[in-house]
Amino acid sequence: MFGILVFLVWSGCTRMIPDPVRSPPACEISYQGDLRPEDFRGIRLSPDYALDVAGKSSPNYEEASARSAADLFSRFHELPLTKMPSCVSEAYRLTWVPSFHRTTTVRIWASEDGYFITAKRLERTAENRNGFAYTEAGRQISSANWNEIRTAIGKFDFWNLPANQNEALPNDGAAWLLEGWQNGRYHNVLRISPDSEFERSIRAFFALTGEQTEIDLYLTAGSAK
């Protein structure tokens, strides 16, 4: 009888011990719903086709691009990288805008809590290619994962490339926008026909998400090797 009582007391005590609670990250990236086109000045989600066809830039291209970027990133609940909180020391975001599949963003960043990645995919609707609902998958990544992405970006020479350039007009393709925020400086590069190094960076981003996507339908098979 004494043994049974001891067991009951012991088991009752163990049930009263709470599970350990993991502390929330100290660095929080909070979306603010009052973003304006001015917050996205200089961000392009599609080429200036007037420049490709006529050899001159469309007069409203920059304004239209800023409005489009504000609309798209608001749907994703994504801040401009220039508005990252001070606890974020470095961040990169890849935005994929395909013709026939779900527009997707992959953001990685370094903060005082470590290294992280999040991937968001917009729904598609009959009325608009981009809906207002999205799925999201995120997790913490290792320093090796982080260094892999930074190495790929370095080989791509991201920080020294022009933001956009004349490219052959695609029939039905995709736009790839890579943004970077590092120690207070910002840069972005848009391509519709990424070269092999840029493609390797794209594949590194998506491989790290672990998500199944359709990027192989939009990238050249040769660079996948």
Which residue numbers in the chain have pLDDT < 50? 2, 4-22, 222-225
Amino acid 50: pLDDT? 67
pLDDT at 80: 94
In a domain, 11, yes or no: no
For residue 131, what pLDDT is reported? Answer: 82
How much is the pTM? 0.83
Query: Is residue 15 a part of any domain in this protein?
Result: no
Please report the pLDDT score of residue 183 as a whole number.
Answer: 87
pLDDT at 122: 93
Domain coverage including residue 200: 37-224
Question: Does residue 24 belong to any structural domain of this protein?
Answer: no
pLDDT for res 168: 67
Residue 193 lies in a domain: yes
Q: What is the pLDDT of residue 146?
A: 97
Flag whether 127 is in a domain: yes
The whole-number pLDDT of residue 18 equals: 46
Contacts of 179 (CB under 8 A, 6+ apart): 43, 81, 92, 93, 94, 95, 186, 187, 188
Question: For residue 155, is it within any domain?
Answer: yes
Q: HSE on the CB side for 208, CA within 13 Å?
A: 32
| pLDDT of amino acid 220 | 80
pLDDT confidence of residue 35: 80
Residue 13 covered by a domain: no
- 50-74 tens-digit pLDDT: 666 666 778 888 899 999 999 999 9
Q: What's the rounded Cα separation, in Å, for the pair 136 and 119?
A: 6
Q: Residue 24's pLDDT is what?
A: 53
The total number of structural domains that make up the chain: 1
Interior/surface letters 184-219, b for 16+ CB within 10 angstroms, e for the rest: eeebbbbbbbbeebbbbbbbbbbebbeeebebeebb
